[in-house]
Structure 1
Amino acid sequence: MDYKKLKEYWLAEEKKSFQGWNFSYISNRKSEEPLPWDYDKIIRQYLKADSVLLDMGTGGGEYLLSLEHPYQNTFATEAYPPNVELCKNTLIPLGIDVRQVFNDHDLPYENYMFDIIINRHESFDINEVYRLLKPNGLFITQQVGGLNNKEISKFLIDDFKEITSSDHNLANNIELIQNRGFTILKAEEYFPKLKFFDVGALVYFAKIIEWEFPNFTVDSCYEKLCELHSIIEEQGFIESREHRFIIVAQKLSI
């Protein structure tokens, strides 16, 4: 085994660029266990043509566009500057309102503006969600839980310090949302398996998901990456455990 060439390959994967929220580059080098619910199907169950919709943390707008919701009723927020630029080229010309935001506690919209707020893997302040929703409005969020990929992060990174709290789970979020004046229509939690078929795919993934792999570099984690490479040679993959939960909540009428 030529470890010098292997490291050069990993370093090249570490430098790959990333846009939007699209992992198609490594799609055939990893597999993710399906969730027992369908986020898209749940949203379409509630979304009507006249619904005023906000997508929190839209990424590059890829999923939002797939909904084909009337553009004049469609709004989106995004913080990551490269994705904001992408939205300027793809969403804004269509008439979709996109706002760059950096503070969950102060979103630039009027009170009682939205019928539905959707949120896939984005942080939120439930007080702001409550303020923005019309009476009986819906909040649909699928979250990455605090235990997501934590075992493999701890293995790879010496002196690992978690950024996302392990307390970020279904039970605690249900309590938070109910206490703010919502009724829960649906709630479910799952821990799907994520498999990587080569270490280069993990390197690419870890460099992007920096909040789960803080201070990750090929150089600092090289010996651990070599260990994982040996495991892949033996069994064909390495496995991580993800953490997902979904909540559909309805704002109680005033």
Structure 2
Amino acid sequence: MNRSEYKDFYDKVGKINGWDFSKLRTTSEGEQWDFLYEVTQRCQKSDVLLDIGTGGGEALLSIADAALLLVGIDHSEGMIQSATKNLKKSNKSNIRFLQMEAEVITFPMSFFNVVSCRHSEFYVNEISKVLANDGIFLTQQVSERDKLNIKEAFGRGQGFGTDEGFLKNKYLTELAEAGFSDIQSFEYDATQYFQTYEDLVFFLKYTPVIPTFGQTDYDFEILQKFIEANQTEKGIKTNTKRFMIMARK
């Protein structure tokens, strides 16, 4: 997928599903942190927080009590529509959702104490512009070798064929060049099990892990062979590989 195709994909997902995977039945072994917990641990009750690539807002709504004001932005109109609906249902009064591009963040300089970004593209110079001095930036991203056995089965996928660590090293370099300090990075490669065939199909349909999944019958033939090869007592086995970066301005 090119960038335009990704945007179209996320917009369609946003209108249909938001970014709510609460009904997806999976278990994991070996995850070393919870990103939302890490974010809340670095928030003061008086802070203003920006969440980049907020999707349907489910994650931000779940940590509403961590800060004075939380603002979620997303480039997708569909995602923001879902986030706005979720906000109305929640009755939270300290959260705002806005459609905005990550590469042009139109807030006042030094407006936010904390900026978070989970599984979404970000631009270091834009973050530096709106983050207050001594503010904290945290991001969790999908590593190139995430869902590796699935990508190998299909011969394509998000980040497939890209050198492992390319994205992490790119972001680390950009943060250092922008003058951020106390830059720390972490990573894990956990085992993940999808409980059923339907859970895995849902995941592949509503994420960009395998671009254009399901548009041909051949995809389902590949999927059936993959499941037969990776079915265990705990479920259909794959991996979840993530990296996290924390930096102070």
The normalised TM-score by structure 1 is 0.78
8 Å CA contact retained: 2:46, 2:68 = no
Q: Report the Cα offset of residue 106 of structure 1.
A: 0.7
The one-letter code matched in structure 1 to 2:248 is Q
* Structure 1 residues 224-243: aligned runs within 5 Å: 224-231=222-229, 237-243=235-241
Aligned to 1:214: 211
Q: TM-score when scaled to structure 2?
A: 0.80
Cα pair distance change 1:25/1:134, threshold 3 Å: same
5 Å-filtered alignment, 1:14-25, equals 19-25=17-23
Counterpart Cα distance in 2 of 1:248 and 1:222: 39
Judge conservation of contact 1:199–1:225 (CA < 8 Å) in 2.
no
* 1:109–1:233 Cα change, 3 Å: closer
Match for residue 39 of structure 2 among 35, 38, 43: 43
Whose strand proportion is higher, 1 or 2?
2
Q: 1:120 touches 1:141 (CA, 8 Å); kept in 2? A: yes
Tell me how far apart the structure 2 counterparts of residues 44 and 236 of structure 1 sit (CA, whole Å): 32
Moved more, 32-41 or 103-112: 32-41
Q: Flag the 1:214–1:109 CA change in 2: closer, same or farther, 3 A.
A: same
Task: Map 1:58-77; keep pairs closer than 5 Å.
Answer: 58-69=54-65, 73-77=69-73
Instruction: Structure 1: state its 5+ residue gaps.
Output: 1-16
| 2: CA distance, partners of 1:44 / 1:233 | 36
Distance in 1, matches of 2:94 and 2:47, equals 16
CA shift in 2, pair 1:89/1:198, >3 Å:
closer
Residue number in structure 1 paired with 2:112: 114
Note closer, same or farther for the CA distance 1:90–1:195 as it changes in structure 2 (3 Å cut).
closer
Q: When the two structures are aligned, how many residues end up with a matched partner?
A: 229
Displacement of 1:84: 0.9
User: What is the CA distance between 1:169 and its match in structure 2?
Assistant: 4.1
Which residue identity lines up with residue 77 of structure 2 in the other structure? Answer: P
Aligned partners of 1:171, 1:163: CA distance in 2, in Å?
A: 14
Matches within 5 A, 1:22-33: 22-27=20-25, 30-33=26-29
CA distance in 1, matches of 2:16, 2:30: 24
Larger mean CA deviation between 61-70 and 172-181 belongs to: 61-70
Sequence identity, in percent? 25
**Which residue does the alignment assign to 1:250?**
248
Asked if structure 2 preserves the Cα contact closer than 8 Å seen for 1:35 and 1:192, the reply is: yes
Q: 2:195 aligns to what?
A: 197
> Could you tell me how far apart the structure 1 residues matched to 2:67 and 2:97 are?
11
2:50 aligns to what SS in structure 1? strand
- Looking at structure 1, the residues matched to 97 and 37 of structure 2 have their Cα atoms a distance apart, in angstroms, of 24
Please give the alpha-carbon distance, in whole angstroms, between the structure 1 residues aligned to 2:64 and 2:158.
Answer: 38
Deviation at 1:76, TM superposition (A): 1.2
Give the whole-Å Cα distance in 2 for the aligned partners of 1:43 and 1:236.
Answer: 31
- Look up the equivalent residue of 1:37 and give its one-letter code: W
Aligned residue type for 2:36: D
Quote the Cα distance in structure 2 between the aligned partners of 1:120 and 1:89. Answer: 21
Q: Is the 8 A contact 1:57 1:76 kept in 2?
A: yes
Shift of 1:245: 0.9
Cα distance in 2, alignment partners of residues 234 and 148 from structure 1: 19
Structure 2, unmatched stretches of 5+, are: 1-14
Report the CA distance between 1:205 and its aligned residue. 0.8
**What's 1:14 paired with?**
none
